[in-house]
Structure 1
Amino acid sequence: MKLVSYSIGSSAITPGILLPDLHQIIDLNDLGYPTLLSYIEAGLPAVDSRDAISADLVRLHAPLPKPPRIFAIGLNYRDHARESGMAIPTTPVVFFKLATSVIGPGDAIILPKNSTMPDWEAEFAFVIGKGGYRIPGSAWRDHVCAYTNVNDVSARDVQFSSTQWSMSKSFPTFCPLGPYLVTADEIEDPHNLDISLTIDGERMQHSNTRELVFKIPDLVEYLSSITPLLPGDIVSTGTPPGVGLGQNPKRWLKAGETVSVTVQGLGTLTNPLVAE
């Protein structure tokens, strides 16, 4: 299934299921699920599709507008660690993106006045369905319910002015997410998915999730050994090489550009860039 959050006109954001033809949506609110998180917490039960509405009438939002937590993994592609001038980690490098940074497909990324080095990062993310503490890596499929695209937008000058990264990656609009969640049953092997990013159609990043240093079982086991994972938690697994920091000369995001992230099987997440 493809899970969405959408609105029609000025109506409230509503959770739904985008049907396989991509032209119709089942309204989950009418079935007793006021948010997509509530549907995830219920275990993604089967629903009746008889009352689907036209997808042409809706605007898509971030599928999880207010996720409980957004874990992000740094330096999780070997070539990206090298282009960043950093050692390949032997333990996952974890930081957080604040939920207030989340936006959806088509929403504008606002380039803040207090950064001159805004950068892009295409990322593949997984979503926790069943929570747990000290989950063995071998049981990860029992706990991961879906996958999605993330753009881990980063203010490099802010990032390198501190020893922690979270603030540089948590400006408003710095976590584009979507366009939908794809349930885990639809992705046969999440560790063999092409991932790419373009700016105005020019490809800047291209890799495959098989290049991840720490894969989903590693991350589920590591994170849950420290904090209980919650339904709706998002884990963004890191970016491949090709970020602006690694270009020669370095290149930063500019107002007027459009950036798109595509992970195989997960659709394309596109956002325009505007100045604050």
Structure 2
Amino acid sequence: MNYASYVAADGSHTWGIVSEGTAYDLGPSGLNLAPSLGAAVERGIFGTVGEEFRNAPARPEAEIEFLPSITHPGKIICIGVNYRSHQKETGKAEHQKEQKAPTIFTRFADSQMGHLQPAQMPASTNEFDYEGEMALVIGKEGFHVAEADAFDHVAGYAAYNDFSVRDWQLAATQWTPGKNFPGTGGFGPYLVPAADLGDVNELTLETRVNGDVRQKASVADLYFTIPQLISYVTGFTRLSPGDVIVTGTPGGVGRFMVPSGLLSAGDVVEVEITGLGTLRNTVELVD
């Protein structure tokens, strides 16, 4: 089942199920099961809604304005250089053999945007890049979670695009500035319950720029696995329902292409993951 956050007909924020091209409103302007998709995850409603959703107020999917799947997560934890193919292109493959812990940075909730919303390239940079990734959303509070129990804490998965302002990212050893410009964290279009997907290692991630395939990898190519990530992150911080972990990007980012594959205004970037739909954002130059 595909869940989404979007703007209701009255302009308020809502959420619901998108099925066969129709969005069914389960939020305050509809069946009012919870005030937001994040709240639905927190209350344990996410992934449990049956066929009664078809009684909700409905609109064509083509008419809705998507919001980030989780609009106000308490934490967004991003993992850097976590696909073997990306390690190779960055020249860090040998270093990774000795790495004991994942590279971690944070993204702010207000830097996110939804499916079909513009990716905002700041006019101050010529180094705007894409990073197609898979995000997971926490469904159960956890602290010091064992790897064997990690999947029990995952509510669902979605596509993510960690658009990066490379000159700001690489100006110092800490990446946070280049990862938090407004309108650079694409999240969606759907959040899909983990129970609907089976083995996530069998999913394939593909990123396209103007239709050209730039990244393609199996989730099984992650260096630090999802259980390892959840166990490590909960070793230093408590994760709550609605928190997000963005698991890393495969090889094929624009910065390491020859010639350069960095983005320009008007470029259309799509991140498609098996069973999760296609996240699409068009680059827009902003002051």
TM-score (norm 2): 0.91
Q: Which amino acid aligns with 1:5?
A: S
Contact residue 3 and residue 15 of structure 1 kept, 8 A: yes
Equivalence for 1:215: 225
Of all paired residues, the percent bearing the same amino acid is 34
Q: CA deviation at 1:180?
A: 1.1
Q: Which amino acid aligns with 2:187?
A: L
Q: Give structure 2 stretches of 5+ with no counterpart.
A: none
Q: Secondary structure at the match of 2:284?
A: strand
Q: Which amino acid aligns with 1:49?
A: F
In the alignment, the residues of structure 1 paired with residue 154 and residue 80 of structure 2 have an alpha-carbon distance, to the nearest angstrom, of 20
Contact residue 191 and residue 215 of structure 1 kept, 8 A: no
**Any residues of structure 2 matched to 1:1-276 within 5 Å, and which?**
1-19=1-19, 21-29=20-28, 30-44=31-45, 45-46=48-49, 48-52=52-56, 53-56=58-61, 57-86=63-92, 87-88=95-96, 89-276=99-286
TM-score (norm 1): 0.95
Q: Secondary structure at the match of 2:156?
A: strand
In the alignment, the residues of structure 1 paired with residue 183 and residue 25 of structure 2 have an alpha-carbon distance, to the nearest angstrom, of 28
Q: Write out per-residue CA displacement over residues 154-203 of structure 1, whole angstroms, 9 at most, x where no aligned residue.
A: 11111111110111111001100000100011111111211011111111
Q: Secondary structure at the match of 1:218?
A: helix
Q: CA deviation at 1:55?
A: 3.0
Of 236-245 and 132-141, more deviation after overlay is shown by: 132-141
Q: Which amino acid aligns with 2:40?
A: Y
Contact residue 126 and residue 148 of structure 1 kept, 8 A: yes
Contact residue 6 and residue 64 of structure 2 kept, 8 A: yes
In the alignment, the residues of structure 1 paired with residue 281 and residue 54 of structure 2 have an alpha-carbon distance, to the nearest angstrom, of 33
Contact residue 16 and residue 23 of structure 2 kept, 8 A: no
In the alignment, the residues of structure 1 paired with residue 160 and residue 6 of structure 2 have an alpha-carbon distance, to the nearest angstrom, of 18
Contact residue 17 and residue 53 of structure 2 kept, 8 A: no
Q: Secondary structure at the match of 1:162?
A: coil
In the alignment, the residues of structure 2 paired with residue 33 and residue 188 of structure 1 have an alpha-carbon distance, to the nearest angstrom, of 26
In the alignment, the residues of structure 1 paired with residue 119 and residue 191 of structure 2 have an alpha-carbon distance, to the nearest angstrom, of 20
Q: Which amino acid aligns with 1:73?
A: I
Contact residue 133 and residue 159 of structure 2 kept, 8 A: yes
Q: Secondary structure at the match of 1:133?
A: coil
Contact residue 16 and residue 25 of structure 1 kept, 8 A: yes
Q: CA deviation at 1:54?
A: 2.9
Of 130-139 and 24-33, more deviation after overlay is shown by: 24-33
Contact residue 255 and residue 273 of structure 1 kept, 8 A: yes
Contact residue 205 and residue 240 of structure 1 kept, 8 A: yes
Kindly report the root-mean-square deviation, in angstroms, between the aligned alpha carbons of the 2 structures: 1.5
In the alignment, the residues of structure 2 paired with residue 60 and residue 85 of structure 1 have an alpha-carbon distance, to the nearest angstrom, of 37
Contact residue 105 and residue 270 of structure 1 kept, 8 A: yes
In the alignment, the residues of structure 1 paired with residue 128 and residue 166 of structure 2 have an alpha-carbon distance, to the nearest angstrom, of 6
Contact residue 162 and residue 186 of structure 2 kept, 8 A: yes
Q: Give structure 1 stretches of 5+ with no counterpart.
A: none
In the alignment, the residues of structure 2 paired with residue 174 and residue 155 of structure 1 have an alpha-carbon distance, to the nearest angstrom, of 9
In the alignment, the residues of structure 1 paired with residue 112 and residue 23 of structure 2 have an alpha-carbon distance, to the nearest angstrom, of 25
Q: CA deviation at 1:9?
A: 4.0
